[in-house]
Amino acid sequence: MAINMAVSSNKSDDAITDINLTPLVDVCLVLVIIFMAVAPFAVQSGIKVLQSKAGVQVGKVSASESVQIKLSKDGRISVNGVDVPAGDFPFKIAQALAKSRDKFVIVKADEKNKVGEVVELLDGAKQAGALKMALMKN
CATH of the domain at 74: 3.30.420.270
Q: Is there a domain that residue 111 lies in?
A: yes
Question: Would you state the pLDDT for residue 11?
Answer: 59
- Structural domain for 127, as ranges: 67-137
How much is the average pLDDT of 113-128?
A: 87
Q: Is there a domain that residue 34 lies in?
A: no
Q: Taking the model in full, what pTM does it have?
A: 0.55
Q: Is there a domain that residue 1 lies in?
A: no
Q: Is there a domain that residue 121 lies in?
A: yes
pLDDT at position 16 over 80: no
Question: Three-class SS string for the chain?
Answer: CCCCCCCCCCCCCCCCCCCCCHHHHHHHHHHHHHHHHHHHHHCCCCCCCCCCCCCCCCCCCCCCCCEEEEECCCCCEEECCEEECHHHHHHHHHHHHHHCCCCEEEEEECCCCCHHHHHHHHHHHHHHCCCEEEEEEC
- Rounded Cα distance between 96 and 115, Å, is 24
Q: Is there a domain that residue 19 lies in?
A: no
Q: What would the pLDDT profile of 19-33 be if each residue is shown by its tens digit?
A: 888 999 999 999 999
Q: Is there a domain that residue 27 lies in?
A: no
- Rounded Cα distance between 78 and 132, Å, is 19
**Total number of domains constituting the chain:** 1
